[in-house]
Amino acid sequence: MTSDRMVDRATRPKNTAGNTPAIVQLTLSRFREFYREPEAVFWVFIFPILLAAGLGIAFRNRPAEASHIAVVSSAANNAVVDSLKTAPNVTVDVLDDTAATAALRTGRVALVVIPRADGGVEYRFDEARPESRTARLIVDRAVQHAGGQQDPVRTTDTRVSERGSRYIDFVVPGLLGMNLMGSGIWGIGFAIVDARKKKLLKRLISTPMSRAQYLASFLIFRLSLLVIEVATLIGFGTLVFGVPLRGSFIQLVAICVLSSLAFGGMGLLVASRARTVEGASGLMNLVMMPMWVFSGVFFSSGNFPKVAQPFIQALPLTAVNDALRANMLQGASWNVVGHEIAIIATWLVVCFTLALRLFRWR
Amino acid sequence: MPAPTPALAVRGLRKAYADVVAVEALDLEVRAGECFGLLGPNGAGKTTTIEICEGLLAPDAGVVEVFGMQWARDGNSLRSRLGIQLQETQLSEKLTVEETVRLFRSFYPAGRTVDEVIGLVQLDEKRKARVGTLSGGQKQRLAVACALVGDPDLLFLDEPTTGLDPQSRRQLWDIIDAFRNEGGTTVLTTHYMDEAERLCDRVAIVDHGRVISLGTPRELIASLGAGHVVEFGVDGSQDIDERTLLSLAGVKSARRSGGRWALQVGAAHETIPLLLAELTERALPLTELSTHSPTLEDVFVTLTGRSLRDDV
């Protein structure tokens, strides 16, 4: 009786209609899981723009700022004050000795000028403060000119502000690199560890699903988001701050795609064994922290000591930031960015190989 | 005519974790088309056994054959013939019911349509709802839908109704019945006796990683040789001892648990008057008295001396 039923079952027609390929469904799932999580959308798209805007405003190129100085009031100060009032870019406060010292200490003035009874002038300032050194030079020049000094050499000033050498030009490629790293490592690592913790990975591998297609869906998802991420950040930098795009477009795309895949590989590696989201988060921060600090996102990685440079230059984010800056700011040729591209590609290969070897589905 | 290939054959299965032996020398044979239950308390080794059969765990020793095929050799073709529901899977909360079923459908070369499966598990009204908004029973039916969407020949269900309300349990039972009526083979684990009696053609009672009894629910119950089970409680029940109870005519076994005695008797109407007379003679006031037909629970208690529900 039961065996008859079995025969019916084995020979009955199988329905193969109405099916979409698994890779399409898997990739669609990645997108749905992403855009149905508003926080993720914020961190990936909005946050880098807010950061770029904030930094762009804070470090915008301003006209030369006036030096604030204090002159200590005394019988002899009138001539000095008069000479300083005609000097360009200097604002003068006339204060008594105590008030002037307090103003210097709190940073309200950069320099305290103390006229002496003998006609000389004393400057009081902190040599470690650049604006104090500048103020001293300006004030001394005005005082000496008032005293009758003549310039032996005639000079002229031509003022320039070049796009590509401002802070915002430096920081936009850095933010782009940081964003590629963050979304690559978080975007892939977090989702996979979460699926493992919820035993969803285990459930998936109990079906005939292709494991390669499952992992590929994350990469396709990453590369699709990449287009939007890069376009928003670069578009914002270019339109609002006039950040230059001097390099070849193909080269920029190649750098971004390669970087995104390399960081995706790192995310996969971090997620290959971790069983809890907390454990994976710690691991991800451990991986990303050195790069946030050393890889030249907000300031040049050249600021770190020479001994640390081989380590810093080997970090993937350093290579990504250098390559992006070389492309966007200098319009570098392939030869110039070849070294960075080789470093990124090495990370990509090493991370993926290790990740696939170590990966646990259960 | 040669014997038909069993849907599932397990021989000499053994699996140990670190220092705990989960499964020890376990044998099973599940016939094609039957609903087979692994019944046992938590920690008996049911989940380990079923996950080895599903190809998710490798055994330390023993052979598993599914439709005559082995996991090491035929893993890929086997996976497309099985439908699996795991005990602890949490499906993605951000996807809708329909999207989830469609995703699982895409993994199988052939199968049922998404609409058909959603209808089968009665989730039509919830098809556009996110998984995160479903009740426990609805989530479980969705898990079964994902197991059914590949049109499997063999369905593995690991504690499918644990933690569900009675109505959700009955809905799942109907789904399993329907699958069986179409000729599908089901292997399920449960620690609910009523579920095993209601659903299963045959039951293996598992304890400490071994099959301690095997048969149809009716056979297992009949093996007790008891027509009824009489349960009673008395004030100061320490005053009556097992030997006295066993000396009453018709009493086959007596067991005390939780302040109550359970007697397996040949016929309740013959033993109860004798029991009452005995209690009256000893001036023991009866606090409760009930009788029921023996169940798989009684079989388990008799075999192990423990109750299935003790550790649930």
Nearest CB neighbour to A209, from listed B55, B107, B111: B107
Single-letter amino acid, residue A65: E
Question: Do the chains contact at B84 and A29, CB–CB below 8 Å?
Answer: no
- The pLDDT value recorded for residue A256 is 95
**Residue B126: phi, psi to the nearest 5?**
-105, 10
Contact A274, A280 (CB under 8 A): yes
Whether A21 and chain B come into contact, CB under 8 Å, resolves to: yes
- Closest C-alpha to B224, from B120, B289, B300: B300
Whether B120 and chain A come into contact, CB under 8 Å, resolves to: no
Full-model pTM: 0.80
Nearest CA in chain B to A5: B183
**What gap in Å lies between CA A362 and CA B3, rounded to an integer?**
37
Interface test with A, best of B89, B118, B159 (most A CBs within 10 A): B89
Question: Do the chains contact at B33 and A3, CB–CB below 8 Å?
Answer: yes
Helix (H, G, I), strand (E, B) or coil at B207: strand
DSSP strand E in A30-164: where? 67-72, 90-95, 111-115, 121-124
Question: Do the chains contact at B110 and A14, CB–CB below 8 Å?
Answer: yes
Which chain B residues have a beta carbon less than 8 Å from that of A5? 32-33, 183
> Number of Cβ pairs closer than 8 Å across A and B?
113
- Closest C-alpha to A125, from A117, A143, A116, A137: A137
Tell me how far CA of residue A282 lies from CA of A111, A199, A286, A354, B95, in angstroms: 48, 21, 6, 19, 28
- The pLDDT value recorded for residue A57 is 80
Angle at A261 between CA A260 and CA A263, to 5 degrees: 65
- The pLDDT value recorded for residue A148 is 80
Among A residues 194-253, those touching chain B with beta carbons less than 8 Å apart: 195, 198-200, 202-209
Whether B92 and chain A come into contact, CB under 8 Å, resolves to: yes
- Closest C-alpha to B67, from B8, B10, B4: B8
Partners of residue B289 on adjacent β-strands = B232
Q: Which residues of chain B have pLDDT under 50?
A: 311-312
- The pLDDT value recorded for residue A76 is 59
Cβ contacts of A205 within 8 Å, gap of 6 or more: A211, A361, A362, B56
Question: Do the chains contact at B79 and A20, CB–CB below 8 Å?
Answer: no
Q: Which residues of chain A have pLDDT under 70?
A: 1-14, 17-18, 59-64, 75-78, 160-161
Whether A66 and chain B come into contact, CB under 8 Å, resolves to: no
Nearest CB neighbour to B90, from listed A18, A199, A206: A199
Closest Cα of chain B to A206: distance in Å? Answer: 6
- The pLDDT value recorded for residue A361 is 87
Question: Do the chains contact at B110 and A16, CB–CB below 8 Å?
Answer: yes
